[in-house]
Structure 1
Amino acid sequence: MCNLSEGVYNDGVCDRAKEDLKNLIQSTGWSLAKAMAMLRIPPEERKDFEKALKKQH
């Protein structure tokens, strides 16, 4: 996959993961940390998701 299409794909995956996190937190009342663990988001990516979700609020 070329770099451009890879970047577009990764952005879409990240956007979907952020939506999944928000929905899981709202549905279950879990913390962000627990929701990320349940979705098996790698530890090295969790800080990025935390920052992105805090920006949206």
Structure 2
Amino acid sequence: MLGYAVLFFIIALVAGVLGFFTLASAAAGIAKILFFVFLVLFIISFIFGRRRV
């Protein structure tokens, strides 16, 4: 999931440089959402993965 977030961030950068600002904005929004979903899932798996008895 983090790989997809980085991919969309790179797409946003390239689109912004080329002048496709609407596409860049959409790709940046998707990258931000994917990053936060990754972050939440990482924290949840870190907390519950350490609770082995």
> What's the TM-score, normalizing by structure 2?
0.52
**Larger Rg belongs to:** 2
Q: 1:17 aligns with which of 38, 41, 44?
A: 38
Structure 1 segments (4+ residues) deviating >6 Å: none
- Give the paired residue count: 29
- Which structure has greater helix proportion? 2
Q: Cα offset for 1:13?
A: 0.1
- Please give the alpha-carbon distance, in whole angstroms, between the structure 1 residues aligned to 2:25 and 2:37: 19
Q: Any unmatched runs of 5+ in structure 2?
A: 1-21
Q: Any unmatched runs of 5+ in structure 1?
A: 30-57
> What's the TM-score, normalizing by structure 1?
0.48
Q: 1:2 aligns with which of 16, 23, 42?
A: 23
CA RMSD of aligned residues (A): 1.4
